[in-house]
Amino acid sequence: MTLDVVTLLIIAIAIELIGALFLFLFLCSARGSIDPRSKRSVLIWAISHVLVGTALFALALRGIAPIWLSMILGNAILLLGADLRRVALSVFWGRKSYWQFSAVPGLVWVALCLTTPVTTNYTGVLVYIHTSLTLIWIATSIVSFACNDDRLRTGNWLAVNIFAAALIHSYVVVTALAPQILALQPYVGLNSAGGYLAAMAVTLLATVVLVFAMVMEREKHRYQQLAHTDPLTGLANRRSFMEQNEGWLQKNNGTGFAVIMVDLDHFKTVNDIHGHATGDRVLQIAANTLRAHAPRGAIIGRMGGEEFAIFLPGCTVKDAWAFTETIRERFPAEVERLETARIQATLSAGYHHDMAGDCTLSNALRQADRALYDAKNSGRNRVYYSRRVQAATPAVSKVPLSNKALSPAILRPDA
Candidate list 16, 306, 325, 329, residue with the active-site label: 306
Ramachandran sector of residue 352 (left: φ over 0; alpha: ψ -120 to 50; beta: rest) = beta
- Among residues 244, 227, 388, 241, the alpha carbon closest in space to that of 317 is found at 388
Concatenated DSSP letters of 335-364: HTT-SS------EEEEEEEEEBTTB-HHHH
**Calpha distance 412→151 (Å, rounded):** 46
CB atoms inside a 10 Å sphere around CB 5: 15
**Calpha distance 228→236 (Å, rounded):** 6
Q: Indicate the burial class of 96 (C-beta count within 10 angstroms; 0-12, 13-18, 19 or more).
A: exposed
**Calpha distance 128→75 (Å, rounded):** 10
Indicate the SS3 state at residue 33: coil
CB 211 within 8 A of CB 158: yes
CB 345 within 8 A of CB 262: no
Q: Is 306 a catalytic residue?
A: yes
**Calpha distance 82→68 (Å, rounded):** 20
Q: Strands across the sheet with 256-264, in order?
A: 299-304, 307-313, 256-264, 347-355, 383-385
DSSP assignment, residue 305?
A: T
CB 301 within 8 A of CB 286: no
Q: Indicate the burial class of 28 (C-beta count within 10 angstroms; 0-12, 13-18, 19 or more).
A: exposed
The strand pairing partners of 307, in sequence order, are 263, 304
What does the buried/exposed string (b/e) look like for 369-397 if buried means 16 or more CB atoms within 10 Å of the residue's CB?
bbbbebbbeeeebbbbbbbbbbeeeeebe
245 to 223, 236, 256: CA distances (angstroms): 21, 11, 13
Active site residues: 306
